[in-house]
Structure 1
Amino acid sequence: MALSFPLGLAFAIDDVVASSKRFTLLASVCSGIIMCKIVYDLTGLVSRLLFKPYGKLDSKQQMEWNNRGFSTFHAVFVSLAAIYLLVFSGMFDDNVLGGLMIDRTSTTSEVILGISIGYFLADLSMILWHFPVLGGVEYVFHHCISMFAIILAVTSGQSQFYIFMVLLSEATTPFVNLRWYLDTSGQKSSKLYTCNGIALFLGWLVARVLLFIYFFVHMFLHFDQVKQVFPLGFYSLLTIPPALGVMNLLWFWKITKGLIKTLSKARRRE
């Protein structure tokens, strides 16, 4: 009996902690969805007041315009959060904390991942509801495997370092969206469109090509830790990032061809 009370108390504490984590995750996911709805509505309101081209768009174009508003907001939010956790927080620094890098997690990281799940759920729902207006099969595939990887990381508490590295690639999204905004509002021949194309090319090269190369090199050098991830998470690390990497390279090829075409037209106008 003397040992049963402390053991029972330990189980009770574990249950409370687990319940707290589930509540935090659920609240974060809901917050992400609500964030998308608020930014969607604000984008429409502000655009109608400040951008004349918005009022000339049809309903589907206005819907996509607003959708890209919360897509941009999430991209900025998660990129800044990833930079903070990966670079400044010391959370994944071997010289600051003990234990395996692959097992490190925190309430902050879990909240951010939960918000991202909410974003991907909201965006995927809109993509499927309006399919294929907001994107084709490749967007559905991208969102599904991204959500799957994030859910595994946040529920297991493992591999979050690599998840935030992948989420950092969202830093290119504002350039992609600005390109669409300029094209839709009839400013495809403007200098801003050309400058944004160059920024998109450079940003994609850094965040979705070079960063992924660093990702794979880092994973190779820390493979002794990667092997300790639970089986489904381990095989996901070996398959999902390469799949995303291939998609990034295909899109990079399209971006490069588009930039060459834009620069050629700009030279002819001069």
Structure 2
Amino acid sequence: MDANTKLVISTFITSFVTFQLLFHFVSSWFSAKVSPGYNSLSYEKKTEWNSRVVSTCHSLVVGFFCLYIVFFDEATRADPLWGDPSLVKVNLAIASAYLISDLLLLILYWKVIGDKFFIIHHCAALYAYHFVMKYGVLAYHGNFRLLAELSSPFVNQRWFFESLKYPKFSKANVINGILMTVVFFIVRIAMIPPYYSYIYSVIGTEAYVRLGFVIQCSWISTCVILDVMNVMWMIKISKGCIKVISLAIQEKARNSLQNGKLD
């Protein structure tokens, strides 16, 4: 077993254990310290809260690692299909450990946080990642797709605000909602046209043919599945954001009118 393989395996094991510890022990202690409202939540809410804390931690670590690789890892950028995946494998080891850890929690606490779409999403992502981990191909693309995780902290923060009963029109809630919509669109939706345009441009090239039929089909099919889900989520998020902004404008206008009458 070479040094890189040992590093990937140790990263995976360490990450899995860390995510489990975060969920079962660290999140409840830390959340109670920073948010007094946590202690008043129901068991179900606390369970999902801890799950989302883990999700946020994972997203921040993996997301910023992705940005570093995109901008500074020349070996991966130089050859998107067959570039040296050493750093990407480490990042995917962290992501894979999170996905398996979260799948375990989804099953154990199915009545509380179970979601069939998350199961589909996690399994599709793991299936795609294993090609990078096992064969060292599509490293750049595996990392590029992980940029989508940068939207998760905003999605989770929206849920935290709702659980703590923050007013929908509070400044923090509205700002987070707008940022969530914008970031989600940038990292999950806006990249769809150029990404598939690139796939189309490499079809038939020698590097693409060398991937083999199974990897070619798996690469495209998993991307399609994930992007269909991203579009569905984007529509839902956009509707919610537009609704909140519209209601906030109406509320502001109503308050202005009332203040005008009082004057």
Q: Report the TM-score, using the length of structure 1 for normalisation.
A: 0.86
Supply the distance in 2 between the matched residues of 1:228 and 1:135 (Cα, whole angstroms). 39
Alignment of 1:183-198 (within 5 A): 183-189=162-168, 190-198=170-178
Tell whether 2:241 aligns with 1:245: no
Tell whether 2:61 aligns with 1:77: yes
Supply the distance in 2 between the matched residues of 1:93 and 1:140 (Cα, whole angstroms). 31
Supply the distance in 2 between the matched residues of 1:244 and 1:227 (Cα, whole angstroms). 24
Tell whether 2:247 aligns with 1:265: yes
Per-residue deviation, residues 215-234 of structure 1 (Å, max 9, x unmatched): 21222223323332133221
CA contact (8 A) 1:219 1:226 kept: no
CA contact (8 A) 2:76 2:139 kept: no
Alignment of 1:1-270 (within 5 A): 16-17=1-2, 20-40=3-23, 41-94=25-78, 100-189=79-168, 190-223=170-203, 224=205, 225-270=207-252
Q: CA RMSD in A?
A: 1.6
CA contact (8 A) 1:39 1:70 kept: yes
Report percent identity of matched pairs.
22
How far does residue 70 in structure 1 lie from its aligned partner after superposition?
A: 1.2
Per the alignment, in what secondary structure is the counterpart of residue 102 of structure 1? coil
Per the alignment, in what secondary structure is the counterpart of residue 91 of structure 1? helix
Task: Report how many residues are paired.
Answer: 248
CA contact (8 A) 2:77 2:140 kept: no
- In structure 1, stretches of 5+ residues that fail to align are 1-15, 95-99
CA contact (8 A) 1:64 1:134 kept: yes
Supply the distance in 2 between the matched residues of 1:267 and 1:68 (Cα, whole angstroms). 30
CA contact (8 A) 2:15 2:97 kept: yes
Supply the distance in 1 between the matched residues of 2:201 and 2:67 (Cα, whole angstroms). 21
Per-residue deviation, residues 170-217 of structure 1 (Å, max 9, x unmatched): 110001000000000001422111111111111111110012222212
Supply the distance in 2 between the matched residues of 1:124 and 1:230 (Cα, whole angstroms). 30
How far does residue 107 in structure 1 lie from its aligned partner after superposition?
A: 3.0
Per-residue deviation, residues 75-134 of structure 1 (Å, max 9, x unmatched): 11111111111222212333xxxxx43112343221211111110000111112212532
CA contact (8 A) 1:208 1:248 kept: yes
Supply the distance in 2 between the matched residues of 1:178 and 1:44 (Cα, whole angstroms). 16
How far does residue 44 in structure 1 lie from its aligned partner after superposition?
A: 1.3
